[in-house]
Chains A and B, each alone.
Chain A
Amino acid sequence: MAKTILAVDDSSSLRQMVAFSLKAAGYNVVEAVDGQDGLDKAKLQNVDLVLTDQNMPKMDGLTLIKTLRTLPGYAKTPILMLTTESSDEMKSKGRAAGANGWLVKPFDPQRLIEVVKKVIG
Chain B
Amino acid sequence: MTRKKILGSHVKRLMSGVSVHGRRHLTEVETDLLQTELLLEEAIDKLSASFMAIHGTVAARQAAIDSLLDGAAPTLEQRELLSGMSREIGEHVNAAITSMQFQDMTAQLIERTLRRVAGLRDFLGTLSEHGADIAPETDSDEIVDRLGKVSMALAVQSLELRSLLRRSVEQRHLESGDVELF
Contacts and interface: CB of A to CB of B under 8 A. Distances in A.
Contacts of A118: 181
B98 A108 contact: yes
A67 interface: no
Interface stretch (A27-35, A41-49, A69-77, A96-104): A96-104
Contact of A115 (B99, B100, B169, B179): B179
A54 B101 CA distance: 15
Contact of B174 (A101, A106, A110, A115): A106
Contacts of A104: 171, 177-179
Interface in B128-182: 168-171, 174-182
Interface in A82-112: 84-87, 91, 95, 99-111
B104 interface: yes
A76 to B, nearest CB: 13
A80 to B, nearest CB: 8
Contacts of B93: 109
Given A20-B97, A85-B168, A105 B104 contact: yes
Given A20-B97, A84-B168, A85-B168, A106 B105 contact: yes
Interface in A6-31: 9, 11, 13-14, 17, 20-21
Interface string B103-125: 11101100000000000000000
A100 B182 contact: yes
Nearest to B169: A84
Given A20-B97, A105-B171, A108-B94, A84 B105 contact: yes
A55 interface: yes
Contact of A14 (B104, B170, B175, B178): B104
A119 interface: yes
Interface of A: 9, 11, 13-14, 17, 20-21, 54-55, 84-87, 91, 95, 99-111, 115, 118-119
Q: Which 3 A-B pairs have the closest CB atoms?
A: A104-B177, A108-B176, A106-B101
Given A102-B180, A105-B177, A106-B99, 16 more contacts: A13-B100, A13-B103, A14-B104, A86-B177, A101-B179, A102-B182, A103-B177, A104-B171, A105-B104, A105-B105, A106-B102, A107-B101, A108-B98, A108-B176, A109-B98, A110-B94
Interface of B: 93-94, 97-105, 107-108, 168-171, 174-182
28 contacts: A9-B104, A11-B104, A14-B104, A17-B97, A17-B101, A21-B97, A84-B104, A84-B108, A84-B169, A85-B168, A86-B170, A86-B177, A95-B182, A101-B180, A101-B181, A102-B180, A103-B180, A104-B177, A106-B101, A106-B102, A106-B105, A106-B171, A106-B174, A107-B101, A108-B176, A109-B93, A109-B98, A119-B181
